[in-house]
Structure 1
Amino acid sequence: MSSPSLIVATARSWIGTPYRHQASLKGIGCDCLGLLRGVWREVMGTEPELPPPYSADWAEAGADSLVLAARRHLREIALHDVADGDVLLFRWRGHCPAKHCAIATSPDTMVHAHDGACVTEVAFRPWWRRHLACAFRFPAR
């Protein structure tokens, strides 16, 4: 398995990157998926697939494509097993597809990119925990 400490350090190295929809360039711009893609490239190598172009509201009208892609390339874990370096997927409403992702950096913190802000490390507060839909671990190399 990829080292959780390497994943956390890599995610933290993106802190300060401005939010840019569909981008994935450290220091230049990324969205939440772009952050995850960039960390994957640095830790794992070439991305296993590239996402198709997507609109800002893609999750409101479609399948649970973020969860399906995560299941193709990451190892799903129980929500109570989340540890440093794990990928977190969030749903804003229970009936909607997951549309946000972050990387856990400790039991109580995560790194994510959010519209209107730069990549940041935030507290994994009860609000976030209520919206946590799935959790995944990076695969072994």
Structure 2
Amino acid sequence: MSVARQDIVSEARTWLGTPYVHQASVRGAGTDCLGLLRGIWRTLYGAEPEAVPSYSMDWSEPQGEERMWAAARRHLTAKSPDDLEPGDVLLFRMRDGGVAKHVGVVSETGAVPRFIHAYSGHGVVENALSGPWQRRVVACFAFPLEVR
């Protein structure tokens, strides 16, 4: 079975309007950015690839550990952020010197790229990948397009 990039974007869009709830991953009821990614994975591939341990809002910042980045490397395919395609996963560093702890899914590329993410205070939204967001991108990954 294969997954098309548009399947990823279409599934992400079904989460639009879901309220932001830390550590949740239930479409329509509540999710955070990682929960959105987990929900997309479950719909497209079945069970999640690994159990997600409980995490705090500061997401490994006190230890300086790049836990989210390491998990992305285990299950997604790293690629250049200069070659964005719909369905790619973006990893963001929200402040200088902090760990990368926010993710979103590219929904459109071209002159006005867009991405879908769960954002505290806003829920799941689709935003322009504007300059301030682009400056925070530290890594880009692709979902596996072939299901094993």
> Are 1:59 and 1:98, in contact at CA under 8 Å, matched by a contact in 2?
no
Q: How far is 1:94 from its partner?
A: 3.9
Q: Distance in 1 between matches of 2:125 and 2:118?
A: 7
Q: Residue type of the partner of 2:27?
A: K
Shift of 1:61: 1.5
Matches within 5 A, 1:42-121: 42-62=43-63, 63-107=65-109, 108-121=113-126
CA distance in 2, matches of 1:81, 1:44: 24
Question: What TM-score results when the alignment is normalised by the length of structure 2?
Answer: 0.92
Higher helix share: 1
Query: In 2, distance between residues paired with 1:59 and 1:92?
Result: 13
Helix, strand or coil for the counterpart of 1:76? strand
Q: TM-score, normalised by structure 1?
A: 0.96
- Correspondence 1:8 to 2:9: yes
Structure 2, unpaired ranges of 5+: none
Percentage identity across paired residues of the two chains = 45
What stretches of structure 1 of length at least 5 have no aligned partner?
A: none
Q: Which amino acid aligns with 1:129?
A: Q
User: Structure 1: how far apart are the matches of 2:125 and 2:27?
Assistant: 13
